[in-house]
Amino acid sequence: MLPADERREVGIDIKTVQFGWPLGMPVVDHVDRDIWEVRTRLANRLARVLFVLEGSEMVLLHGFIKKERTTPKPDLDLARQRLKKLRSSS
């Protein structure tokens, strides 16, 4: 779990995307098909929150600390799995 000050920073960026969509770099980047990421630069690391737009709603799928240049496959796979479950239950 992130410390409170870092969670606040991530939350501020999520809110920026939620109320300012559409946005681009450096706050938002396209990852895969319908999946986008909120990009937050913390003091000594990078946080990412993968999300999808469902109608006018922003649905957060997965958050993680980025340690590699590309989005790690397990993190992207988890987001895809959650998106599939979301869409099958609608």
Do 47 and 65 form a contact (C-beta atoms < 8 A)? Answer: yes
pLDDT at 16 exceeding the cut of 80: yes
Distance between CA atoms of residues 25 and 89, nearest Å: 32
For residue 1, name the pLDDT band (cuts at 50, 70, 90).
confident
pLDDT tens digit sequence for 36-87: 999 999 999 999 999 999 999 999 999 999 999 999 999 999 999 999 999 9
Check residue 90 and give its pLDDT: 66
pLDDT tens digit sequence for 20-36: 999 999 999 999 999 99
Model pTM?
0.95
C-alpha angle 80-82-86 in degrees, rounded to nearest 5? 115
